Amino acid sequence: MPPFTRRNALRAFAAGTAGVTVTSPAQAAVADEARQRALADAAAEFAVPEPVLLGVSYQKSRWDSHGGAPSTGAGFGPMHLTDVRTVAGAGGHHDQGGEDPRGDTARAALRPTAPAERKPVPALQTVDLAAQLTGATPAALRGDPARNIRGGAAILAQYQRELGIGSTDPADWYGAVARYSGASDSMAAAFFADEVFSTIKTGVSRVTDDGQQVALAAQPGVTPSRGQLRALRLPTGSQGGVEAPPDVSVEWIPAPYEDLGNGNYGNYDKADRPWSQQISHIVIHDTECTYDMALGLVQDPTYVSWHYTIRSVDGHIAQHLRTKDVGWHAGNWYVNAKSIGIEHEGFARQAAWYTEAMYRTSAKLVRHLAAKYRVPLDREHILGHDNVPGTTPASVKTMHWDPAPYWDWAHYFDLLGAPLRPWPLAVNTGLITIAPGYETNRPGYTGCDTTNFTATCPLHGSSAVHLHTEPRPDAPLLPDPGLHPGGSLSTMDISDVGSRMSTGRRFAVAETAGDWIAVWFLGQKGWFHNPRRAPVARPALGLVAVPKSGVDNVGVYGRAYPEAEAYPEGVPAESLVPLPYTFGAGQRYAAGPVVDSEYYWSTTFDPADHLVVRGKTKYVQIQFGHRVAYVKLDDVRLRSTRG
């Protein structure tokens, strides 16, 4: 095994090291090695094995600096030093705004409120410990990557001293790495440490968000001393029959199914999926509160529910509902009845990035669930909460927008083992896939500072591309008559999805003008700049939905409900009200799956009274704007794009 040096580490990428993130020649040409040197210097200064420091930093941040912005777990810099003083939240995202999380118009709208007495449990203040050990100020540790790395190395060294282990062998640092996770139980700590040492064994190399070339050469011979975990004296986590892959840290913390009286109950619906209904979607959320507060909320029978919560600092999972049951989380009852909801600890406005530990655990969980329920790993079936449509015209403007444009969809799908690779041939197919470079795509959002919503957010990588009314950068953004009734234009507020496309989504091309492309979006043409040298979209193959001859305006719906004749006696028919958009002749929209019409009737506490209404009407899920929508198959023709 070659010695660990920067030269050998950088050679590992060219040698085909497993787990690498491919970087473009343009990125490599401008990359600096200052981050690599800072990691090496800090490792030497504090006598931390360099592979250990590199592995911990990669598992926390992938060596990124994020411009000093906090993570969703209130962590900063390459070492994710935590400082909860800088990020605060109250309640959870299901009690913010006007969305009815249940989204079932057969029942009164659910307006959950977070109990005032619930207090989030503070996370570890590792930035304070780093300040004690290095003499640097908390501000410097948050904002200066080199000092942040020194702080993280100092903490690892302190943890190793407290374990009483004097060794330069990476294998002897398992206990210190496990403690650095910040986990509160041994199962979660072990999961984090195992992921770090897996990275050390396989190696990795990438260019960071600020142009730093960093590499960790593979160390396949490292066998960590897992027995050190006992010395941390952490409580043992309990799996309790959870539904998750065996190689993640997960525990069972159930949501309550409780009769509240007067016909009310909470906080989910009993079901028998997939026998009663197919699970067809997985919905990605963020909590808008700390992990501990989210656990308190989901255990409140008067609140709402979702299936899993994932902790930011170490990727630990809590399961709250059996996947056979229906959670109240997506704001659309049709989607709720056919989906699994996963919450990720985070604050969409105040925090700019998600930890690598969270991404990896989430991807393992979703890959496991998708295989179990045969959910395709694509952007038509793995949705953000922001992709879920309103059910009626009135509900469009209340729908939520998490996990926000800072969620790295391309990286997430790489971890899922289903890379969002567009069609490689540079020809016009009439369909495009949104694919900006995350690190270099930095729109200027507003609305991150809750004391001044007009202030510009710090620039940060984004998965979103925005549409203009004309092919020029100073043209206004598109209007969204559902989100902005009255003709107002969309804005660059971080919560405004009215003129936003997201990585991995496909759109039908309407027109081109040089490096500008117009796509069909909410019944209109929207333009975006797609320069040949740095494209943000690529040609795609697939089906598009077009109106059938004689259909002047295709009805666009937020749910695929049955026709009135399908409802049995005693079950009122759900009305089919189209959303306030136009889908007329000449327009085309990327077509997803053809779906059956279904409605899950479950308005009573006794699940014996629940039933699934199935109709003859078939629908097509389409990419209609930022969100998906449904059109009746009888109203459209499905055409293949050109090869």
**Residue 19, pLDDT score:** 37
**Residue 98, pLDDT score:** 77
pLDDT grade, residue 102 (50/70/90)? confident
- Tens digits of residue pLDDT in 359-389: 999 999 999 999 999 999 999 999 999 999 9
Of residues 491 and 241, more confidently modeled: 491
DSSP string over 223-257: ---GGGGGGG-PPPP--TT--S-TTS-EEE-PPP-
Range with the poorest average pLDDT among 5-14, 222-231, 437-446: 5-14
**Residue 517, pLDDT score:** 97
Of residues 74 and 605, more confidently modeled: 605
pLDDT grade, residue 4 (50/70/90)? very low
**Residue 25, pLDDT score:** 36
- Tens digits of residue pLDDT in 516-525: 999 999 999 9
**Residue 10, pLDDT score:** 37
User: What is the mean pLDDT of the segment spanning 615-631?
Assistant: 97
pLDDT grade, residue 290 (50/70/90)? confident
**Residue 350, pLDDT score:** 72
DSSP string over 49-73: -HHHHHHHHHHHHTT--GGG--BTT
- Tens digits of residue pLDDT in 497-511: 999 999 999 999 999
**Residue 28, pLDDT score:** 42
Long-range CB contacts for residues 435-438, cutoff 8 Å, separation at least 24? 435/410, 435/503, 435/504, 435/535, 435/536, 435/537, 435/538, 436/462, 436/463, 436/464, 436/465, 436/503, 436/536, 436/537, 437/534, 437/536, 438/408, 438/410, 438/411, 438/462, 438/463, 438/503
% of the chain exceeding 70 in pLDDT: 90
pLDDT grade, residue 14 (50/70/90)? very low
**Calpha distance 163→535 (Å, rounded):** 51
Domains and CATH numbers, the chain: 6-84+122-232 (1.10.530), 238-401 (3.40.80.10), 421-541 (no CATH), 546-640 (no CATH)
Residue 560: name the closest of 579, 587, 583, 580 by CA: 579
Name the pTM for this structure. Answer: 0.90
CA 337 → CA 92, 101, 272, 282, distances in Å? 22, 12, 11, 11
Of residues 506 and 22, more confidently modeled: 506
The average confidence (pLDDT) of the chain is 89
**Residue 1, pLDDT score:** 36
User: What is the mean pLDDT of the segment spanning 584-590?
Assistant: 95
Tell me how far the alpha carbon of residue 73 is from its chain's centroid.
14
- Tens digits of residue pLDDT in 203-258: 999 999 999 999 999 999 999 999 999 999 888 766 667 999 988 889 999 999 99
Please answer whether residues 626 and 635 qualify as being in contact, where contact means their C-beta atoms are separated by less than 8 angstroms.
Answer: no
**Residue 24, pLDDT score:** 41
Sequence-distant (≥ 6) Cβ neighbours of residue 121 within 8 angstroms: 290, 292, 293
pLDDT at 261 over 60: yes
pLDDT grade, residue 422 (50/70/90)? confident
pLDDT grade, residue 96 (50/70/90)? low
User: What is the mean pLDDT of the segment spanning 2-27?
Assistant: 38
**Residue 510, pLDDT score:** 96
- Tens digits of residue pLDDT in 167-211: 999 999 999 999 999 888 888 899 999 999 999 999 999 999 999
**Residue 257, pLDDT score:** 95
- The token pair at 510 is 């309407």
**Residue 288, pLDDT score:** 85
**Residue 91, pLDDT score:** 59
Sequence-distant (≥ 6) Cβ neighbours of residue 123 within 8 angstroms: 73, 74, 82, 84, 182, 290, 313
User: What is the mean pLDDT of the segment spanning 555-577?
Assistant: 95
- Tens digits of residue pLDDT in 121-150: 445 689 999 999 999 999 999 999 999 999
Q: Which amino acid is at 492?
A: M
Residue 215: name the closest of 90, 449, 417, 40 by CA: 40
**Residue 2, pLDDT score:** 39
